Amino acid sequence: MKVAKFGGSSLASGGQLQKVINIIKADPKRKIVVVSAPGKRTKDDTKVTDLLIKYCNTVINNEDPTGIQSKIIQRYRAIGEHFNLPEGELQPIITGIEQLATQVFPSRAYQMAAFKAAGENNNAKLVAAVFNHQGIPAQYMNPKDIGLMVTDVPNDAQILDFSYKQLAGLSEYTKTLVIPGFFGYNQAGEVCTFSRGGSDITGAIVAKAVAAEEYENFTDVDAIYAANPNIIPNPRKITHLTFQEMRELSYAGFSVFHDEALIPAIEGKVPVVVKNTNHPDLPGTLISETKPIDQKNIVSGIASDSGFTGIYLRKYLMNKQVGFTLKLLQILADFGVSYEHMPSGIDDLTIIIRSRELTPDLEAKIQSRIESEIHPDDFQITHNYAMVMIVGEGIQDRIGTMAAATASIAAANVSIVMLNHGASPVSITIGIRDSDADQAVKSLYDTFINHKPVHLMDGIL
């Protein structure tokens, strides 16, 4: 059995849904389909999820919602009409969208979660109806009915472990099952959504639960690329990644998957294949637990992400103080701030944080606590850092990788502010200024993907 997840671009219109129908018919093993809400049909279009967020805010502000309701309903109606779906089968979707405006919720957070989840939920109902009309015996499955239970966090939920046993029963159905992605239910029966990339998370959860032989993630790209196509024109397609490589690349800015999205598949050791709905016969990118290491192409991908802040402090004899780091991290924990990296020396330490974790007021409070409790000899907070990550199985054991990386950065006339090598066996993380990120990626791509020699001022590496 295979689990196939289709993203918003794959379901944006009737024409796109026809491609999905052809894909499902082409392989009888595709018995479980996880769907996103309809995405953009054109560059200037609006995703249904964004329309639902606007709808929710309209209701919260006690404004007339009929206009935004009509826009949302029309998106589903247009897809149904493409397949001549009877009005009677569209009516439950229309009614559900309209009734959102009068429902009562425990809080604004639950209200927003329910509105957003309506995009996937109604699309699953629509897709199941269209499948049946197109000769694919299908059944819509509500997450509550199949036991997809999550933590009580309205817009950032996590799967509850006992759900997997309940979801395992999905493998016993003979019809093609259509499941809405992005959300589950807490134990009080309220809708709670997953974080960004939530439909990918649902797909991975279901794939793990039914022990799928493969989890196919259909999107609008032919494969995962070795670098961001907005930085590198026509980058190399990656044919095979390990789970660990994909996790590192996702964390560092690759947009195909949120860095949390694959965890259930990783835990279940379910191979993932990223494929293009528009070109389904292409091989795509396989992501699995292990892969053969290509010694000639040791680096799989290069990614960068901006929006980091560095908290630097110097404390002489820091290395002699038992519990020093614990005290520092406890201060951050007290303010609800998590950290990303923490390179250190005998007297110096830098904590790298996502800038979105901080506000000017919070930053001042953290500084005050550190200065009063730790008494650093030097203290600085620096904004506008970017992290560039070089990822590949085996790079830790490849002699000269770090030398080539730093030389490549130097050749690009970029200053390094942080290095992290050895914490992960498959990646090197280089901290630089935001403004230098694209130039660094271009230089590293030439060095490790195009295998061009590095030209330094005093020669060639």
Tokens 């949120």 belong to residue: 258
pLDDT of residue 454: 81
Q: What's the pLDDT tens digit per position in 15-61?
A: 999 999 999 999 999 999 999 999 999 999 999 999 999 999 999 99
pLDDT of residue 262: 86
pLDDT of residue 457: 55
Q: Does 359 appear as a known binding residue?
A: no
pLDDT of residue 254: 76
Give the start-to-end residue ranges of the domains of the chain.
Answer: 2-288, 301-460
The CATH number of the structural domain formed by 301-460 is 3.30.2130.10
Helix then strand count (H, E) for the chain reads: 14, 19
Q: How far is CA 233 from CA 218, 224, 230, 250, 437, in A?
A: 23, 14, 7, 20, 16
CATH number of 2-288: 3.40.50.2000, 3.30.365.10, 3.40.50.300, 3.40.1160.10?
3.40.1160.10
Q: Does 120 appear as a known binding residue?
A: yes
pLDDT of residue 248: 86
Q: Does 315 appear as a known binding residue?
A: no
Q: Does 6 appear as a known binding residue?
A: yes
Q: Does 219 appear as a known binding residue?
A: yes
Q: Does 184 appear as a known binding residue?
A: no
pTM metric for this prediction: 0.87
User: Measured between alpha carbons, how far is 17 from 19 in angstroms, rounded to an integer?
Assistant: 5
Q: Does 5 appear as a known binding residue?
A: yes
Q: Does 49 appear as a known binding residue?
A: yes
Q: Among 74, 161, 79, 150, which residue's Cα sits nearest to residue 113?
A: 150
Please identify every stretch of the chain with a pLDDT value under 50, giving residue numbers as ranges.
461
Q: Does 277 appear as a known binding residue?
A: no
